[in-house]
Structures are given as C-alpha cells and as structure tokens.
C-alpha cells in the first residue's frame, strides 16, 4: 500500500511539473521543414525499455537512408546499448536523472546544433517533454498530445493502436519530414561479427550436424513473468519427443532458473545483449514470454511463438513486425496457461513453420 501511495504521489508531482514547465514555455514555431542534408543533425528521444528502443529503429533507419544526416539518440541506462554501434545511429547520449542530468544531456546535444528533434514516445513523459524544451532545435516533432503539444512545431495524430503495429506508431512523428511507411520497414538489430560468431559456435558445438534448432527464451524482464520450471520442463520434453533440437536462452540474472530446467550445456547465457540478440537471430523458431526477444526475432524474420499477459485489448504491440507468429494472451498471469493448455497450438505452429 505504501509503495502504491508513493507511486501515485510521484505521478501527481510529475504531471504538475510537466504542466508548469509547459505553461512557461513559448509555443514552438511551425512552418514547412526544408529538405534535410547530410550536414544536418537530427536528435531522437527514446527513453525507457529495451523493446521501446528496438521498435524505434525502423523509423531511424528510414530517416538516415533518406537524408544521410547525422543521427543522435538520447537514451537511458536501460536501453542505450540497443543504439550503441547501431548502423544508423552516429552518437548516443545517455540521459542522467535529475535537473542537473537533464541540463547536461541537453548541453551535450545542443553542442551538435541539431536542426530537428523527434520525440519517439507515444505518450507524453515529464523527462521527454523537459528535454524537448531544453534542446535548441528549430523543428520539433511528436505525435499529438494536448498536455505538451505547445513544445512541438509539428505534431501528427497517433495512429490507431488497434490497426497499426507499435513500429509504425513510433515512426508516425516523422511524417512531417516526408518519412512514411513502406514494405521494407522492420526492426533493425545487427550484432557484431564477434557476437554472431559466438552464437554460431555455441550452436555448432552443441549440434554439429547442423539441424534446425528451437530457441526457448525464459527471460522476460521480470520474474513476475517467469513461466515456471514445470512448464518449461514440459516444453523441453515435448521438443525431445518430437526429435527437435533446442537451446535455452536467458539473461545472466536468470541463469539459476535455467539450470533448474536443463543441463548446463544447453544454456546460452551471456552478459552481452549483442550475444543474446545474435543467439535469437540464429535459431529457427523462438518460444518466448518477452516482447524484447520478439522484436529481436523480427529483425531476422525468425518465427515466434509468444506467451503474453493482456495489457491493452487488441493493441498491436507484442507480435513480431515481420516474422510469422502465434501467440497466447493471458488475462493476468502467464502462469495461468500451462504447457498442456497450449501444446496443441504450439505443435500446429511448429509443423507449419519447420515442416511446411
């Protein structure tokens, strides 16, 4: 109860801070945006989680390919590594919390004299809004929200989340720059050569005959979304009976859970996000309760069987943008659906994507 009260008070305070900040800011000037050039700098704001960063990469790539301009991304400690060494990002500025951190972040970006700023958040945040106000870009773009629209020179309506995938919603702000959806759009994640070699070596050493491999990701960002030892063991048993090879993929913090499911030799566990992503992109089918892994799979068109908790009815958030998929959505907890309840659906999916 105490935590809930603090959380509620924090939201009230942040909303008050945002409203006060917007109140004292002069309205951003609108007008036609001239064609960008390779000498121009565009800054993107994309804070929060890994999945949020991944689904933003399609729009960033589209802008970089169209104009060749310098791209700077403001990220935070939870997702900066998605943009680090990214082929379409020139520099990452890691946001530091607090007023001093905001000022330092804005100063680091302003040193590049950005022409445009693009807010990649689909709803207003206090941090993103204040950073927007502090950054000296002539053009500022975002999806429309009444609470902070004054900060932006160009806003667009939020695409219907029941009809448009989150990848498309994240890129909607780019429309005033002439960036619109096309069939080539997809999540962009390109692991380094070293990360790819590590993933390939792991699979090759485990299965030298080169057969198809099912990746089972057990990490979901929170142990509250852990599917449970028994369910994962039943899944592994099913794969073994079906003569399908597998690897268990997990984050370093979940190694103790993985070791209770399979022998160590079947576990791919790395502190490197690049290696984690490279492993997902090397399997032939991915089973996962985590949306970040889903978006990584989409980048390489790896088929996905997903297990999720319903957050927003019908929203096109969780499915991979460019991969074949099947999913199970639970009302509250993923543990409410045991392996026995989804085994028929999983078998049909396996038959469709691996034995077509």
DSSP string, 233-270: HHHHHHHHHTT-EEEEEEEGGGHHHHTTTS-GGGEEEE
Provide the whole-model pTM: 0.89
pLDDT by residue for the chain (356 residues), tens only, comes to 333 444 555 555 555 555 555 555 555 666 788 899 999 999 999 998 999 999 999 999 999 999 999 999 999 999 999 999 999 999 999 998 888 999 999 999 999 999 999 999 887 788 888 899 999 999 999 998 877 788 999 999 989 888 899 999 999 999 999 999 888 999 999 999 999 999 999 999 999 987 899 999 999 877 878 999 999 999 999 999 999 999 999 999 999 999 999 999 999 998 899 999 999 999 999 999 888 999 999 999 999 999 887 765 556 667 899 999 998 887 677 888 899 999 999 999 999 999 87
Question: What superfamily in CATH does domain 193-354 come from?
Answer: Glycogen Phosphorylase B; (3.40.50.2000)
Terminal Cα distance for the chain, rounded: 52
Q: Which CATH class is domain 18-177?
A: alpha beta
- Whether the CA torsion 225, 201, 61, 186 is positive or negative: it is negative
Dist. CA 188–CA 319, nearest whole Å? 16
Pick from 216, 200, 188, 206: nearest CA to 289: 216
Phi-psi region of 210 (alpha: psi -120 to 50; beta: other; left: phi over 0): left
Indicate the helix (H) or strand (E) that contains 286. strand 285-288
Q: Give ranges for CATH 3.40.50.2000 in the chain.
A: 18-177, 193-354
**Cα gap 157→177, rounded to integer Å:** 15
Could you give the count of Cα atoms lying within 13 Å of 194 in the half-sphere of its Cβ?
3
Residue 200 CA neighbour count, 13 Å, CB half: 7
């Amino acid at each position: 109860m105490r935590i809930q009260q603090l959380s509620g008070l924090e939201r009230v305070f942040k909303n008050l801070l945002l409203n006060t900040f917007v109140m004292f800011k002069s309205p951003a000037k609108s007008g036609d945006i001239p064609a960008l050039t390779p000498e121009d700098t565009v800054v993107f704001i994309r804070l929060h989680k890994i999945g949020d960063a991944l689904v933003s990469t399609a729009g960033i790539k589209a802008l970089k390919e169209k104009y060749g301009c310098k791209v700077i991304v403001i990220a935070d400690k939870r997702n900066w590594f998605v943009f680090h060494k990214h082929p379409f990002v020139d520099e990452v500025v890691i946001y530091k919390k607090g007023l001093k951190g905001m000022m330092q972040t804005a100063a680091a970006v302003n040193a590049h004299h950005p022409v445009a700023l693009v807010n990649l958040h689909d709803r207003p945040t206090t941090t993103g809004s204040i950073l927007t106000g502090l950054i000296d870009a002539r053009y500022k773009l975002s999806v429309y929200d009444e609470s902070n629209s004054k900060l932006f020179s160009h806003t667009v309506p939020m695409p219907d989340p029941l009809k448009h995938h989150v990848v498309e919603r994240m890129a909607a702000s780019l429309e005033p720059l002439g960036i619109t959806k096309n069939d080539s759009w997809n999540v962009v994640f390109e692991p380094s050569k070293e990360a790819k070699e590590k993933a390939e070596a792991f699979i090759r050493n485990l299965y030298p005959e080169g057969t198809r491999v099912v990746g089972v990701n057990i990490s979901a960002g929170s142990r509250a979304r852990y599917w449970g030892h028994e369910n994962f063991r039943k899944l592994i048993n099913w794969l073994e009976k079906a003569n399908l090879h597998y690897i268990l993929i997990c984050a370093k913090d979940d190694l103790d859970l993985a070791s209770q499911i399979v022998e160590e030799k079947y576990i791919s566990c790395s502190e490197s996000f690049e290696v984690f992503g490279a492993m997902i992109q090397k399997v032939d089918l991915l089973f996962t309760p985590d949306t970040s892994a889903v978006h990584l799979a989409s980048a390489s068109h790896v088929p996905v069987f997903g297990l999720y908790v319903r957050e927003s009815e019908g929203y096109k958030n969780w499915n991979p943008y460019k991969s074949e998929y099947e999913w199970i959505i639970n009302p509250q907890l993923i543990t409410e659906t045991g392996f026995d309840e989804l085994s028929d659906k999983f078998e049909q999916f396996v038959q469709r994507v691996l034995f077509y």
